[in-house]
Amino acid sequence: MVNPCKLIEENIEYSIGSFNGKEVIYDFEKILIYLDVKGKLLFGHRFKIYKEDHDIILKLCHYLIKDEDNCKKNNIDINKGILLSGPVGCGKTSLMLLLKHIVPLQKPYILIPGRNIVFGFNHIGYKIIEDYGCRQFFCFDDLGVEPMGRYYGKDCNVMGEILISRHEIFIDHKIKTHATTNLNAEELEDLYGHRVRSRMRELFNLIHFDENTNDKRK
């Protein structure tokens, strides 16, 4: 039987909790140790887990391990996706790339920048929107800073259209979508319109960094 609490990195085993064959009891302090190790492997030796980010990380961990009681306390619906917002350089992308590794038995989401999707649209057109309306789990990175799409002289708000498609597949098949963004709710509505913003409320739980969080790239 596979133990979901035992994770191996470079032939070293890390425990992030205990498993009795039926129930998993996670240990947040042990998860932090593992995330620090995995983060350095993924992003280099300068990576570190910042104490001021522990609350955000804890909420995301509760969501990923499907801890319903703690999610309810934080008004997080485990059936929706995550919209992780915060200022530039606060670590949104790194966390979304990193945290999925604590639940290796769950189907992973694919992280892709919104701007890359728009570039694909400019090259091959509306098939891109169809491609992202599938049953794969995605995390759209840097939502809202992508350019307007343009194909054969016609403009298209590509990510807005994709979000509408993702909402449909969420309603019909319970397929989650995640995203990161530097923008607030009002800025997203200005960009995508009220219709998309209304669907985003159904698609996402909003988890946000403090607006004064330091840029960790400096």
Residue 141 sits in a domain whose CATH number is 3.40.50.300
Inform me whether the pLDDT recorded for 1 exceeds 80: no
Distance CA 124, CA 89 (A): 31
Under DSSP, the state recorded for 111 is E
Classify residue 10: in a domain, yes or no.
Answer: no
Inform me whether the pLDDT recorded for 124 exceeds 80: yes
Classify residue 171: in a domain, yes or no.
Answer: yes
Other beta carbons less than 10 A from residue 67's beta carbon: 19
Q: Are strands 6-9 and 12-15 parallel, antiparallel or unpaired?
A: antiparallel
Classify residue 117: in a domain, yes or no.
Answer: yes
The residue among 55, 60, 131, 52 whose CA lies nearest residue 93 is 60
Confidence of residue 216 (pLDDT cuts 50, 70, 90): confident
Q: 98-102, 123-127, 214-218 — which is least confidently predicted?
A: 214-218
Confidence of residue 71 (pLDDT cuts 50, 70, 90): very high
| Number of structural domains in the chain | 1
Distance CA 206, CA 94 (A): 17
Classify residue 132: in a domain, yes or no.
Answer: yes
Inform me whether the pLDDT recorded for 188 exceeds 70: yes
Distance CA 80, CA 201 (A): 9
Q: Which domain holds residue 102?
A: 76-208
Query: What confidence score (pLDDT) does residue 23 get?
Result: 86
Classify residue 128: in a domain, yes or no.
Answer: yes
**5-28 per-position pLDDT tens digit:** 999 999 999 999 999 888 889 999
Query: What confidence score (pLDDT) does residue 151 get?
Result: 96
Query: What confidence score (pLDDT) does residue 194 get?
Result: 93
Classify residue 180: in a domain, yes or no.
Answer: yes
Query: What confidence score (pLDDT) does residue 24 get?
Result: 87
Classify residue 57: in a domain, yes or no.
Answer: no
Classify residue 59: in a domain, yes or no.
Answer: no
pTM check: above 0.85: yes
Q: 77-86, 157-166, 176-185, 206-215 — which is least confidently predicted?
A: 206-215
Inform me whether the pLDDT recorded for 218 exceeds 80: no
